[in-house]
């Protein structure tokens, strides 16, 4: 058996130098990768904070949107209720107007019927007092005064004025 030969020191030193240079290059490359990684982590941290701000801003704007939607819905319901109340009031006004018109027509008709009745009464009283002739001047004066009272009592009424739809200025209704 042959004994191993001792390695050549120059070859060993060359190999060690090559290995040291490779390790130094690897170390430099690892330092570069480490600094790139730390820089990327810092930028991601800043970007993450910006994202968190955007997320909270989105949540806030979403909450404002929900509140505005609720407010619009509330006001839409209120407007619908107001519309229904206005329609109801309008319908009641139409009914009241029709009732007022019917009442006005009935008042005018009643007034005209009353005028016809008064004319008949006046004709009757006039006939009675003209049919009988009083004898004395005092009796004639009494009959004339009585006929003035009868004329005034049974005078026809102005139905249009008595039952006008709009009261004259200065006069209160009721």
DSSP one-letter code for 158? -
Crossing angle of the two packed helices 137-153 and 9-131, in degrees rounded to 10: 160
Name 143's Cβ contacts closer than 8 Å, sequence gap at least 6: 129, 134
Predicted pLDDT of residue 163 = 83
pLDDT at 174: 46
Rounded Cα gap, residues 88 and 94, in angstroms: 10
pLDDT, tens digit, for every residue of 141-164?
888 888 899 899 889 999 888 888
Are 118 and 150 in contact by the 8 Å Cβ rule? The answer is: no
pLDDT in the model for residue 171: 59
CB neighbour burial string for 116-130, b if at least 16 within 10 angstroms, e if fewer: eeeeeebeebeeeee
The segments of the chain whose pLDDT lies below 50 read 174
The pTM of the full predicted model, rounded to 2 decimals, is 0.44
């Amino acid at each position: 058996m042959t004994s191993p030969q001792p390695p050549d020191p120059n070859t060993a030193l060359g190999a060690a130098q090559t290995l040291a240079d490779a390790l130094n290059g690897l170390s430099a490359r690892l330092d570069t990768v480490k600094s790139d990684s730390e820089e990327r982590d810092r930028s991601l941290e800043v970007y993450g904070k910006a994202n968190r701000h955007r997320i909270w801003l989105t949540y806030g704007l979403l909450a404002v949107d929900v509140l505005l939607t609720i407010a619009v819905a509330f006001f839409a319901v209120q407007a619908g209720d107001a519309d229904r109340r206005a329609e109801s009031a309008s319908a009641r006004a139409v009914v009241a107007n029709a009732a007022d018109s019917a009442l006005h027509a009935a008042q005018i008709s009643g007034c005209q019927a009353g005028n016809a009745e008064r004319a008949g009464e006046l004709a009757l009283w006039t006939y009675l007092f003209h049919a009988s002739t009083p004898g004395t001047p005092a009796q004639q004066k009494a009959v004339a005064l009585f006929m003035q009272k009868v004329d005034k009592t049974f005078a026809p009424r102005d139905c249009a004025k008595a039952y006008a739809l709009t009261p004259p200025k200065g006069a209160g209704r009721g």
